[in-house]
Structure formats: C-alpha cells, structure tokens
Amino acid sequence: MSFPPPVPAPARDLGDVRLPLRPELADEVPYGAPQLDVPVLLNVNENPYAPSEEVVATIAREVAAAARGLHRYPDRDFSALRADLAAYLARESGVALRPEQVWAANGSNEVMLHLLQAFGGPGRTAVSFAPTYSMYPEYARDTHTRWVTGRRASDFTVDVEQAVATIERERPAVVLLASPNNPTGTALPLATVEAVLDAAARVEVPDAPEVAGRRAGAVVVVDEAYAEFRRPGTPSALELLADHPNLAVTRTMSKAFAAAGLRLGYLAASSALVDALRVVRLPYHLSAVTQAAARGALAHHDELLAQVQQLRGERDDLVEWLRAQQHRGAGLQVADSDANFVLFGTFADRHAVWQGLLDRGVLIRETGPDGWLRVSVGTPAETAAFRDALTDVLSEQED
C-alpha cells in the first residue's frame, strides 16, 4: 500500500509567541558540543574505533531476539543486564557486586539525573569542584537543586582541606566528584575520595529524615565515565563501596565500549541507594532493544578492553609530544591524563588556535579553564593529522 506524499503546512508568522517557560530557563540554550562535518573529529571524547564485525554480529543477534517480543513491555528492572554489568565490574576492577547494587539508564546523563531527582530538589544543595563536567549544574538546575562549586588546585587535583570545609559549610545533599575529571583528565587518589565521603557522612542534610536522633548525610557520586582509561596503579572508587553506603560510582558504555550511540550509563552503589533511584525512574525507561544491545556489547568486554589498552598508549604518546612543543618561547602545559583526552595550553587566544585547527580539518574542543584546549585521543592517522595541524598553527602564530 502506498501513501501520497505529505502536503507541507502553510508557513505562518507566529509573531511574538509567549510560552510559560520557567524563569530560570529563559536565557538558557541546549547543551551540546559543535557537530561539524570535518575530516578529523576529536572534540567529544568518542572511542575512535568502530565495533568489530564480531561485536556487531552479536548485538544484531541479541536485538533480533528482543525484536520478536516488542509487543510486550521490557523487564523494567533489567535484571539480566544488571547481572552482566556486575560481572563486568568484577572483571575490570576486582570488586564483587550483587546485581541489585547496579543501576542503569539512557546514558550516564540520565543516571545523574536520577541521582539528583532522588537526593536533590528544592531546598537542597549539590556541590562539586571546578573545573569539571559542564553538565553538572544543568542536572542541578533541572531538579531545582541549589548549585555550589568549590575550586580545584592549580594542578586540577581536589584540595582535601578546602573540599571538607566546603561540605561542612554548605551541608549538601549531593557531592559530585569526577575521576578521571572532565575536561582535565585528573584522577583522584582514594584518600581524597575517602576524606570527602567522611565529611559528607558527618553533615546533616537540613530536611533529611532523622535516624537515631540525627539527619542523613550527603550522597557522594564519583563519576568514572573514563575509568577504563586510567593508568596502571590508579584505583577505582568501586573499592570503597563496601564501607560507604553513601557512595555511588557511575560508569558508561559510551567510551571504553565504543558505544556512544547506544546510550547506556550505569552505577554501582548500595542496594538501598539503588532502590531510591527505582522510585524516580520512568516506567520501562530502558527499552528491550537497549538492554539487548548492551548485553551483546558486554559479551565482548575482553576484546574491547584490549582496544582501550592501545588507546592508553596513544594518549601517553600524545601527552609526551605536546609537552615537547613550543609556543611563543615556552613549552606547552599539558595536564596529566587518566582519560581518553588531553587538556593542553595555555594560549592567550585559544579560540584562534581552535579555529586554525578547524580551518585545517581538525575539530577539537574549546573548553576548560581560560587558555586551555581539549583534544580526544583518535586513531594514529587522526592524531597525526592533529599534530600536523597544530604544528602549522603554532608556527603561523610565531610569524
């Protein structure tokens, strides 16, 4: 059966449209890095390697099986996927978890939103330490949570004394720590995370329920979106879960699993914390197709982690190369990175450098503190194109 082509609706001049938008959203614009059609894309920390044909075949087989049951709602608690994620974390970090300690959603963005919906809200505060991921204040805004930022040290680490003082002063309900941090790539020592956890447990969230005569303390979220890329010997905050029921460790399949298009993020925490998130999630929020595709990718975790090892080496080579470059008589500054990207600078006019690279077909990210730029780790060919372009831009600026 064929259908006639749609008839375009007549254009209408709507004039000065008035909508009852929330006042705090009036001047906001949608989040998003530039999406430009250029030969080399190194701006959003994607895994540059497409899934292998074996991974694609497994995902296709799992999705086909799920498609045969699409007339039914999916398992709203995605039990099989949670078991697979728990098994993967045990393999990757050596931390044994029960499936009920794992939660997942459509990207780690939705996981974070669930956390702020459950533990933030009007009259409550979320704290983080800048520079850090630019979406955090938007999660707070969207859940009517007050947003407060402390500052990181000049080397982008978190100063324990300052962090504890900020927590004691603000009495937040949620503390957000990114490790490795975006956009700096900085991983946090477990001692720093433990100090924050202890401070968060001591504070009393103003409107939290009382248990044994005192109010509950804050939830600490350690965002480990880039954890698989950490250097050898760098621990995961997963190791602290057994002793800290106020801790949640978030992960994603977007980076290490080369599955940014899948949109699957997850966390590990106490079962009590996970149960709180089940209250705020929308019914059946993970489709049967998403669950099937994620399980198909997880079945190939060994292959994908081997690829991560290659990217680590390429990152370390890129850091070394950048540190050897000169700009106006001084070497470039490059932050130590445990992620799949590198922050480098500093430039009096970073936009001119960014534009110069773009003019040469290389897109990186103009983000982070003033004067700094961030480049994702690409394939050897993409990294070579970035190096050639940056060498050209810096040489041009010397003239």
User: Do 126 and 227 belong to one domain?
Assistant: yes
Whole-number pLDDT of residue 235: 95
User: Do 289 and 245 belong to one domain?
Assistant: yes
Contact assessment for residue 149 and residue 128, using Cβ atoms and an 8 Å cutoff:
yes
- Residue 5 in any domain: the answer is no
User: What is the pTM for the complete model shown?
Assistant: 0.93
- Residue 17 in any domain: the answer is no
Q: List the domain range (segments joined by +) for residue 232.
A: 55-298
User: Do 61 and 126 belong to one domain?
Assistant: yes
Whole-number pLDDT of residue 189: 97
User: Do 333 and 292 belong to one domain?
Assistant: no
DSSP state of 25: G
10 Å CB burial of residue 14 (0-12, 13-18, 19+) is exposed
User: Do 189 and 46 belong to one domain?
Assistant: no
Whole-number pLDDT of residue 254: 97
Per the structure, how many domains does the chain have?
2
Which among 298, 328, 348 is the end of a domain?
Answer: 298
Whole-number pLDDT of residue 256: 96
CATH number for the domain spanning 77: value is: 3.40.640.10
Give tens-digit pLDDT for 178-236: 999 999 999 999 999 999 999 999 999 998 888 788 899 999 999 999 999 999 999 99
User: Do 104 and 176 belong to one domain?
Assistant: yes
Whole-number pLDDT of residue 11: 63
- Residue 246 in any domain: the answer is yes
Whole-number pLDDT of residue 3: 59
User: Do 333 and 248 belong to one domain?
Assistant: no
Give tens-digit pLDDT for 276-330: 999 999 999 999 999 999 999 999 999 998 999 999 999 999 999 999 998 877 8
Contact assessment for residue 205 and residue 215, using Cβ atoms and an 8 Å cutoff:
yes
**Residue numbers in the chain where pLDDT is lower than 50:** none
Whole-number pLDDT of residue 1: 53
- Residue 7 in any domain: the answer is no
Whole-number pLDDT of residue 15: 66
In this structure, what are the phi and psi dihedrals at residue 168, rounded to the nearest 5 degrees?
-65, -35
CATH number for the domain spanning 348: value is: 3.90.1150.10
Whole-number pLDDT of residue 399: 62
Buried b (16+ CB within 10 A) or exposed e, 113-137: bbbbbbbbbeebbbbbbbbbbebbb
Whole-number pLDDT of residue 178: 98
Whole-number pLDDT of residue 12: 63
What is the residue type of 160?
V
Round to whole Å and give the CA distance between 221 and 203.
Answer: 16
User: Do 135 and 196 belong to one domain?
Assistant: yes
